[in-house]
Copies of this chain bind each other. A is one copy, B any other.
Amino acid sequence: MTDPIRPTDDGARRQAARLLSQARHAVLGVRGDGPPGLSRVAVLPVGADLLLLVSELSRHTRALDADPDCALLIGEPGTGDPLAAARLSLELRAEAADKAAHREAWLAWHPGAALYYDFADFRLLRLVMRSGFLVGGFGRAFALSRADLENCRPTA
């Protein structure tokens, strides 16, 4: 068997940075006593990190309060084979973010959130990226560090 993880190159860094910089939604994975908790969430990329607006009512909010280590899968499949579409999985750690300071940017990225952004039971979290794993298509996988994404300009 050959190792499917290729040496990380600038093409992989740019592809990952593009997926990250364009992300509006993602699948969030949180830890608990049993299997991971998975949910679809709205996100806003900020450099190599992502902001996450959470409701106090959500199961993932309680899980992140108990254990801030989490993961995101970014990159929605298009109309073709979903296994051929590029996707980026990230390991991150949640910390509190300033909801008022990011209000304008969040609503520019998610205009529909104007209906509930200011509700008292919604909080903003910053998911600090620690490492990433890019699957650029069938058999094309790359490990990425935070530096790989911080210092890279996405391709258009």
Contact of A92 among B35, B37, B72 (CB under 8 A): B35
CB distance from A81 to the nearest CB of B (A): 6
- A123 lies within 8 A of chain B by Cβ: no
One complex includes copies of this chain to the number of: 2
Asked if A25 and B89 make an inter-chain contact with CB atoms under 8 angstroms apart, the answer reads: no
Docked-complex contact B40 and A83, CB < 8 angstroms: yes
CB within 8 Å of B: which A105-130 residues: 112, 121
Tell me whether A40 and B121 are in contact (CB under 8 A): no
Contact A37 B71 (CB under 8 A): yes
Question: What is the interface residue range for chain A against chain B?
Answer: 35 or more
Are the C-beta atoms of B89 and A38 separated by less than 8 Å?
Answer: yes
Contact B42 A38 (CB under 8 A): no
Interface mask (A1-45 → B, CB under 8 Å = 1, otherwise 0)? 111100000000000000000001101011100111111111000
Q: Which residue of B lies closest to A93 (CB)?
A: B35
CB contacts (< 8 Å) of A41 on chain B: these are 83
**Beyond A1-B56, A35-B70: 7 further Cβ-contacts under 8 Å?**
A27-B38, A29-B29, A31-B31, A36-B36, A39-B135, A42-B82, A59-B133
- Could you pull out 25 A-B pairs where Cβ atoms are within 8 angstroms? A1-B57, A2-B57, A24-B82, A25-B77, A25-B82, A25-B83, A27-B27, A27-B38, A29-B36, A29-B38, A34-B69, A34-B91, A35-B71, A35-B91, A35-B92, A36-B36, A37-B71, A37-B89, A38-B72, A40-B83, A40-B85, A40-B135, A41-B83, A42-B82, A81-B112
